[in-house]
A and B are shown apart, each in its own frame.
Chain A
């Protein structure tokens, strides 16, 4: 009888110990989520974003910045809103993360209501659709949006380069339509003109006819507002089909596939200003470790996604110091209470709508396939 009692006691004790251990282990893990295009035609961007975010997780754990191990649950969206919503539901309902990294305008707009409803912070560092600034308090952008980039770019194109006649080839989605609207508003103000705006569907693969329409419009410069594989194909086909005018775009031209494309040589594009030469410890460590880990220098997207994780770590650390739980609601309150953040490449502060303001850098793709800064437009 005694032996049965002892055995049962031992079993229960063991069970409780295992449960307790699991709970303790659970308490030590701080999990965030990420919605990346890890497969499909946008996977080149997904890999870039993941590489930056993963390095920030490594740094946070190596420095023991949080009392607990930081981990990241990644869901593959292929850049599509449908898969984005599935991934977001999983992150919010199953993983119960307080903070989700996202990308792509369509994906961001699809998952933002889920973040708002569950009070989960959703942070974007890749999509630039202008209406991303209007997705509620729980949606933050650590990248200047396209309207801001275009507004900064247009005076440079018209006044510095003398490109007055602009033809736009744009994707018929919120991003493309936002860029069209901004060009229509900004160009006349500085003496320029949008002479033709050609919308293309998301699945378009043939650009021979589009090139004919572009040539017909006799522009000084051609603005391409698309992304991913389609943008690469459009550049090649426009050049192959007799479009000789300079090509310009927004930050998506920093895609390594575009930089490597001979047809993209001489193209101009805007990005937020990131000072990779800065001497502060955060930037130096990020740049050096990124080169050591991936064998190449970081780009804008890798920096943004590194910074998004770092932003979480800074906010969560402050919450832990105050003895508050790391929830979406508390992260939002802590961000509103903080004036600025020391991130890689720059010191960042948020506008009231949750979007960062940053100087815009204009880059030119040189013969070697590198993006060389040619001008910086300060924040007004």
Chain B
């Protein structure tokens, strides 16, 4: 029964990892910006939801919509006001990385000033597990996480394969010059990538507030998982990042079957190490990255 329980827990955690990792991978794959502040997007959405739902007693749907709007706005403004000026001056990949790192630190401190440094959580009966079988417990939020992730990935797949904008985004990741030759604006597409990538972090952020709770430093953990999933999934592959996020969540949880909880997070990096050594291109990545 323990194995079944851990498998179920792994699916829930993996679904959340998959969503955040896919958002990071979409942004990195299309714009080549190492968006370290993706964890800050996650934290922004989570704290806006917490502030509206718990502190301001807003309806959960309104709080969720405004959290999504805040995350999208944060991502797009960051692209416009921080990354775009650096790119205009031909700033290096490393310059963008440092800028993003700086933003992540600033956001963490701003959140700490606004909401305090302590642990916060949203109280909801949806996070309370009930016994669904002998020794197997599940909370409604776990089901919502898994079904929600599937829904988001389905919609994302349709968007990237069936719409002009989605196809243009994929083209941008392949060849920005060619995109420009076709009269499309890489800058505008970059904003779309940031908006979409940020939006993907929102459901995971909201569910995390209710299941595990938050502190202002949560973004760094999210970022670590997103980065590992992007490498394991194959740099530039949104589908790969999503699968890798799921794999890492499952590995982290299933490790508890035989190992101490102490080692569960280390399993993430064992998986990462194995992929780097045995399959550097990841699940669905290209053989080489330029």
Contact = CB atoms under 8 A, between A and B. Distances in A.
B86 to A, nearest CB: 29
A41 B261 CA distance: 21
Interface string B10-30: 101100000000000000000
Contact of A209 (B117, B217, B221, B261): B261
Given A213-B261, A241-B137, A242-B137, A39 B12 contact: no
A201 interface: yes
Interface stretch (B118-126, B149-157, B181-189): B118-126
A41 B119 contact: yes
A229 B118 CA distance: 6
A41 B135 CA distance: 34
Contact of A40 (B117, B218, B261): B117
B261 A204 contact: yes
A43 B131 contact: no
B6 A209 contact: yes
A42 B119 CA distance: 9
A71 interface: no
A240 B127 contact: yes
Interface stretch (A56-64, A87-95, A230-238, A368-376): A230-238
Contact of A229 (B12, B215, B253): B215
A262 interface: yes
Given A40-B117, A41-B119, A212-B256, A241 B129 contact: yes
Contact of A216 (B2, B9, B127, B260): B2
Contacts of B129: 240-242
A212 B213 contact: no
A236 B262 contact: no
A200 interface: yes
Interface string A201-244: 10111111111110110000000000011001100110011100
B264 interface: yes
A157 to B, nearest CB: 23
B265 to A, nearest CB: 6
Nearest to B262: A199
B118 A257 contact: yes
Nearest to A242: B137
Contacts of B123: 262
B261 A200 contact: yes
A210 B139 CA distance: 15
Contacts of A43: 116-118
B261 to A, nearest CB: 5
Contact of B212 (A213, A215, A228, A233): A233
Contacts of B281: none
B118 A41 contact: yes
Given A41-B119, A203-B221, A205-B212, A212 B260 contact: no
Contacts of A41: 117-119, 215, 217
A172 B262 contact: yes
B5 A198 contact: no
A116 interface: no
A254 B6 CA distance: 32
A207 B121 CA distance: 14
B212 A206 contact: yes
A208 B131 CA distance: 14
Given A205-B221, A233-B213, A257-B118, A210 B112 contact: no
A98 B221 CA distance: 40
Contact of B13 (A206, A211, A257): A206
Contact of B213 (A44, A210, A232): A232
Contacts of A242: 129, 131, 137
A212 B215 contact: no
B256 A210 contact: yes
A41 B213 CA distance: 13
Interface of B: 1-2, 5-6, 9-10, 12-13, 112, 116-119, 121, 123, 127-129, 131, 135, 137, 139, 211-213, 215, 217-218, 221, 252-253, 256, 260-262, 264-265
Given A199-B262, A208-B211, A262-B123, 17 more contacts: A43-B116, A169-B261, A172-B262, A201-B262, A204-B264, A204-B265, A205-B212, A206-B13, A209-B10, A215-B135, A215-B137, A216-B2, A216-B135, A233-B213, A240-B211, A241-B139, A257-B119
7 smallest CB-CB distances across A and B, nearest first, come from A229-B119, A242-B137, A209-B256, A232-B119, A212-B5, A199-B262, A208-B9
16 contacts: A42-B117, A169-B261, A199-B261, A201-B261, A206-B212, A210-B261, A211-B137, A213-B261, A229-B119, A233-B119, A233-B213, A236-B213, A237-B211, A240-B127, A240-B211, A242-B129
Interface of A: 39-44, 169, 172, 198-201, 203-213, 215-216, 228-229, 232-233, 236-237, 240-242, 257, 262
